[in-house]
């Protein structure tokens, strides 16, 4: 009788451990994604900083980065090309822009896909 009680206790402990490991895996995956996202944001910042555009602001949000720059249309297109080719998991989504005397003042989102 004690042996079966121990077996039941062990089975319950194993089941709880399995549930906890699923939760732990979920937590680890979430943290890894956060680290990956933060790494991606850092890489996006590095790419933008090494480009010839003037950075007005860069803000990190949970699902995207909000970027505002001033530069020529060519500089913007080169920046988009570099971002999307070097970091194949991001896409640039323009939000609003003005074009004045050959310079583009544009706000866009960098989204991880």
In order of 16, 41, 50, 55, 72, the CA distances from 107 in angstroms are: 49, 16, 18, 10, 14
Q: Which domain holds residue 102?
A: 2-112
Q: Tell me how many domains the chain contains.
A: 1
57: its two tokens: 């602001």
Measured in Å, how far apart are the chain's first and last C-alpha atoms? Answer: 56
User: Which domain CATH number covers 74?
Assistant: 3.30.70
**Tens-digit pLDDT string for the chain (113 aa):** 455 666 666 666 666 666 666 666 666 666 666 668 788 888 899 999 988 899 999 999 888 999 999 999 999 999 999 998 888 878 999 999 999 999 999 999 998 87
């Amino acid at each position: 009788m004690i042996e079966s009680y121990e077996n039941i206790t062990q089975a319950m402990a194993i089941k709880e451990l399995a549930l906890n490991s699923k939760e732990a895996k979920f937590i680890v995956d979430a943290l890894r994604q956060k680290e990956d996202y933060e790494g991606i944001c850092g890489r996006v910042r590095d790419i933008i900083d090494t480009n010839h555009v003037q950075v007005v602001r860069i803000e990190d949000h949970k699902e995207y980065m909000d970027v505002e720059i001033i530069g020529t249309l060519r500089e913007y297109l080169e920046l988009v090309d570099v971002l999307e080719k070097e970091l194949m998991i991001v896409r640039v989504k323009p939000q609003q822009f003005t074009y004045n005397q050959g310079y583009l003042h544009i706000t866009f989102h960098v989204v991880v896909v």
